[in-house]
Structure 1
Amino acid sequence: MKPWHFIGILLPLLGCSHGSPADEQIQTLKSDHEPIVIKKVPAQIQELAVPKPEMQQQRAKNVLMNVPLIKQNPELKYGCEVTSLAMVLKYAGADTNKMKLFNEIKKDNDPLKRSANGDILSWGDPAEGFVGDMTGKRAGYAVFDRPMEDLINHYLPGRAVNLTGKDFETVLNHVGSGYPAVVWTTGDYRLPDRWESWTHGSEVIKTPLDLHAVVLVGFNDTTVYLNDPLSGRKQVAVDRQRFIETWKAMQSRAVSYR
């Protein structure tokens, strides 16, 4: 969640502060709920392995990955995006952590300007880089998919997958193939109800205040499972349809790798 007016009062609401796994396993569920364990294998072997049709069908319906949980606090009050990405990259076997990503993610350093009554007049563009101060020493907001995609390609050259703007079934199919995804939502996974706007050059940025990023680690017919860097909870179960509605309201943003 990310604050705005009267920074001294509402600062805790800004951004997402409102509230090596090479052997990690992907769990899929049979109809009788007995877990099937699929061990991760090197990419060159994955490319040669062709799963049986029945396995593909099961995997598309029920998936739960043991993605390592990383908490954004106390270092990165508004760092839900890079902390979520750290989880995904760790799962992929990359040698990184949230603080490395904090230093490496592109920043939009346009200063925050407010009116006399505290309204935001101008600030940065999260589509270009992280806006504000991720540590929380000053006001911070968020970063969107493109700078995150660039960072994935830095660690996994040519393997970034930007799923932004796709339908949610496409995201689920990608996750069902064994690749967790960073997805944008709200702090309570419900529809955003607080919006703000400001200018950035000749553009007007309009965005919800309670923006948050988490890792989509699994799903079934009724539920999605999330690693949440803010609450510090792993494999949080959230109603699938409710989550989809919120994800769409947040402009259907998601990034992963292949």
Structure 2
Amino acid sequence: MNISLIIKKWKRPILIVLMISLIQVTVFLVFYLQQNKHLPEQFFQLARSLATAFTQTEVTDQEKVMSKTFTLFQGDHAAFDFNDLKEAILAAKKSPRTASIRLTKEDRTIWSNDDTKKESAAHPIVDAPYLSQLPELPRGCEVTTLAMLLQYNGFTVDKMTLAHEIVKDPTPLTYDSGHNMRWGNPYKGFVGDMYDAKKPGFGVFHKPIESLARKYAGQQVMNLTELDFSDITSIVEQGIPVWVIVTSTFTQDTSRSVKWQTADGPIQTTRNEHSVLLTGFDGTYVYFHDPLRPAEKSSRRAASTFEQGWNQMGRQAITIILQNEKIVDN
């Protein structure tokens, strides 16, 4: 048993309990002195008010300390607690030892860098519901994939509802005298027309999708954007599906490169932008639900080339981590 790690983990909660006990003793002494006419009534009232406020603050802090969602393990020893999965992963990757991240209230691993365990583990494909974006949403891959993620986690919402609710950037497509494009910002909202492929349209990136997902799943939504692809596949290996943005060719793709100006700066990307739900990884291939391929519930591509397309699109990824059983909203 590593005593130093235990002391580090419980040092703050113990100090909080001691502080609360000290406050209670102080209040008792003030009350005793007041009863024996050694303190003015006004001083007693002030002391009691301050003590009550401070006690409530400290109890709240203690509850926050005790309610962290994720615990970082270094080897078999609990080291630190986090509420954000991305933050926990970044901390784990700095550890000189083999590390894993588990749900604090459950004995369930969410992420691990222990390659020996990965090699011996089975690689099941998540049985997530499959939805096609067609024919209603020719450009609605992002919200359709989000609907699959939400439905898998027990939230009863359909793609058309999400298509209506996603924030839109209404900036129209225009060109200046030099034929330079000016359009909306996909980091702020859906750009262009989602319903009619004959009209100008592009798509939406992770930030508006995260905000929409939180409308249903709240703080259980985890934005993993900018992590390494190995971090994403590690999570998928634990049976947790992940929403991602990738090129529609699932590899590095410069065939339809495009650049335009927004009110916030330039966007440089490819028109072959797509969103799928990662459902499995076997060390060589990634498996996913592609909302554009209704005949193929589960597709697969070589992880090495898929990663190239994912990197090109900004390493965007979102998932939902439920702490207990999947929630069904009525």
Q: What TM-score do you get using the length of structure 2 for normalisation?
A: 0.60
Question: Does the alignment pair 1:156 with 2:240?
Answer: no
Unmatched segments (≥5 aa) in structure 2 = 1-102, 322-330
Deviation at 1:209, TM superposition (A): 1.2
| CA 1:138–1:62: 2 relative to 1, 3 Å | same
Tell me, in whole angstroms, the C-alpha distance in 1 between the residues paired with 2:311 and 2:121.
Answer: 21
Query: Which structure is larger by alpha-carbon Rg, 1 or 2?
Result: 2
Q: Deviations over 1:195-241 (max 9, x none)?
A: 11111125111111111111100010110001000122221011111
Question: Does the alignment pair 1:121 with 2:181?
Answer: yes
Question: Does the alignment pair 1:200 with 2:200?
Answer: no
| CA 1:151–1:60: 2 relative to 1, 3 Å | farther
Hey, what does 1:250 align to over in structure 2? 313
Q: 1:230 aligns with which of 292, 302, 307?
A: 292
Tell me, in whole angstroms, the C-alpha distance in 2 between the residues paired with 1:197 and 1:61.
Answer: 43
Hey, what does 1:86 align to over in structure 2? 147
Tell me, in whole angstroms, the C-alpha distance in 2 between the residues paired with 1:150 and 1:225.
Answer: 26
Tell me, in whole angstroms, the C-alpha distance in 2 between the residues paired with 1:186 and 1:169.
Answer: 18
Equivalent position amino acid for 1:239 in 2: A
Hey, what does 1:133 align to over in structure 2? 193
Q: Secondary structure at the match of 2:304?
A: helix
* Structure-to-structure mapping, 1:26-105, within 5 angstroms: 47-50=105-108, 57=118, 62-105=123-166
Tell me, in whole angstroms, the C-alpha distance in 2 between the residues paired with 1:218 and 1:130.
Answer: 28
Quick check: 1:59–1:176 contact (8 Å CA) kept in 2? no
Aligned length: 212
Tell me, in whole angstroms, the C-alpha distance in 2 between the residues paired with 1:100 and 1:59.
Answer: 42
Quick check: 2:286–2:301 contact (8 Å CA) kept in 1? yes
Equivalent position amino acid for 2:185 in 1: D
Q: Secondary structure at the match of 2:218?
A: coil
Q: Deviations over 1:170-197 (max 9, x none)?
A: 1112222322111111222121112111
Quick check: 2:251–2:307 contact (8 Å CA) kept in 1? no
Q: What TM-score do you get using the length of structure 1 for normalisation?
A: 0.75
Hey, what does 1:170 align to over in structure 2? 231
Q: Deviations over 1:14-47 (max 9, x none)?
A: xxxxxxxxxxxxxxxxxxxxxxxxxxxxxxx994
Q: Secondary structure at the match of 1:157?
A: helix
Deviation at 1:59, TM superposition (A): 8.4
Bigger fraction of residues in strand:
1
Q: Which has the higher contact order (CA 8 A, sep 6+)?
A: 1
Q: Give the fraction of aligned pairs with identical amino acids, expressed as a percent.
A: 35
Unmatched segments (≥5 aa) in structure 1 = 1-44
| CA 1:162–1:60: 2 relative to 1, 3 Å | farther
Quick check: 2:181–2:261 contact (8 Å CA) kept in 1? yes
Deviation at 1:49, TM superposition (A): 3.9
Tell me, in whole angstroms, the C-alpha distance in 2 between the residues paired with 1:103 and 1:83.
Answer: 12
Q: 2:275 aligns with which of 189, 209, 213?
A: 213
Quick check: 1:65–1:178 contact (8 Å CA) kept in 2? yes
Tell me, in whole angstroms, the C-alpha distance in 1 between the residues paired with 2:171 and 2:140.
Answer: 18
Equivalent position amino acid for 2:136 in 1: E
Bigger fraction of residues in helix:
2
Quick check: 2:242–2:318 contact (8 Å CA) kept in 1? yes
Quick check: 1:60–1:173 contact (8 Å CA) kept in 2? no
